[in-house]
Amino acid sequence: MICESLGEGQKLTKAVIEYKEPVDASSLTAESFAVKNRTVTGVSLCGRDPRRVIVALSASDEDAALTYFENPGPGETWKRRPASLMIRQCRDLRTVSGDVLPAWEDFAAGQKEIEAVADRFTQHVFHSDRTGRDLPYNLFLPDGYDEGGSYPLVMFIHDRGPLSEDPKTALRQGNGATIWASDEVQKEHPCIVLAPQFARVPCGDGEPDMLETTFDLYEDIMDRYAVDRKRLYTTGQSMGCMSSIEMGIRRPDFFTAFLLVAGQWDAGKMKVLKDAKMTIIVSRGDPRAFSGMNEALVSLDDAGAQIEFSPIDQPEGIPDNSQMEELLARPANIHYAVLKTRVRGFECHMGTWKVAYGIKAARDWLFVQSK
């Protein structure tokens, strides 16, 4: 069972059946397998191992979702249920050697759970001697990591919903962390990815000393790994966006660039970031993030920041990448993208980060930034 971290959370999207011999691809059809309460969208062989058959499942199925809100709304809590499925081979298959693989009479339960991309991260706990606090975190190193190399470092800070003692929660409730470790991104931009896991809110009236602990963790990763110190990035959604901003306020010259999603912060305090390189993505229907970020940008403009703004269309819910490319091509240190959503409220707030990290132009912009 393969679980993928998508923008809307982790979902069970594939089943993999392993046979003792290579399977003849011509004997496979979409009707070869059935999965209880799920929609089979395709069947194929694993290119690296033809003994394995991959059964693709619709991510839109109600039973696809593994993560969910225990208490929907502001202050929400993410939960995760174990992955499970019942699968049956409905028709005879053939092996490459011509042997018959007979259909199964009964459904069989999935045996092993694999978390695509999330399993590429390792989990650790960092202790800061300066603050005395511990901070769990997830770390990804590129394939073929070279100690003598030089890699950009991307930190993702999660929103309030995944507050947890389990460090993998930050990897499961969306794709804000895992997208950077995906094959798609790593092929063009090999980078080290850091995803701290907070148990309580680290900014505002929460536990602000945890942001100092986060600085210490970031510096520790820089000291221990082959990090390009000219390309230090932070990104986050909602609480993570606000935490990234607050860290920038505390140390305006620390990060090379910010990718900020669905958040806002004190407009007066943000003036110190007038020279920072920032791409900001909010939704028009997100009342707090939209109005709060608008106030912040007025303050930044008054302080002398160079700002470019553009509304971004969302055909079929997917932000227009070409419009984002056009916005980011304009000379400015702050680029402000507002998604043209039709709904308002908390659903729209969440809806921003469901799609924001899927905008290739925004990701590519981050890696171009250098000190």
Structure-block tokens of residue 114: 């694999």
Q: If we measure between CA atoms, which residue out of 5, 51, 58 comes closest to residue 30?
A: 58
Q: What are phi and psi of 111, to 5 degrees?
A: -105, -35
Percent with pLDDT over 90 in the chain: 83
Q: Is the pLDDT of residue 347 over 90?
A: no
CATH code 3.40.50.1820 for 120-368: yes
Query: For residue 26, what pLDDT is reported?
Result: 94
Using alpha carbons, list the distances in angstroms from residue 21 to 94, 96, 179, 258, 264.
10, 8, 34, 50, 56
Q: Where in the chain is the domain with CATH 2.60.40.2180?
A: 2-116
Query: Using 50, 70 and 90 to split pLDDT, how confident is the model at 72?
Result: low
* Mean pLDDT estimate for the chain: 93
Query: Using 50, 70 and 90 to split pLDDT, how confident is the model at 204?
Result: confident
Q: If we measure between CA atoms, which residue out of 211, 177, 169 comes closest to residue 194?
A: 177
- Mean per-residue pLDDT for 17-36? 94
Query: For residue 79, what pLDDT is reported?
Result: 81
- Mean per-residue pLDDT for 24-41? 94
CB 55 within 8 A of CB 17: yes
CB 110 within 8 A of CB 87: yes
Q: Where in the chain is the domain with CATH 3.40.50.1820?
A: 120-368
For the stretch 230-267, pLDDT in tens is: 999 999 999 999 999 999 999 999 999 999 999 999 99
Query: Using 50, 70 and 90 to split pLDDT, how confident is the model at 110?
Result: confident
CB 212 within 8 A of CB 126: no
CATH code 2.60.40.10 for 2-116: no
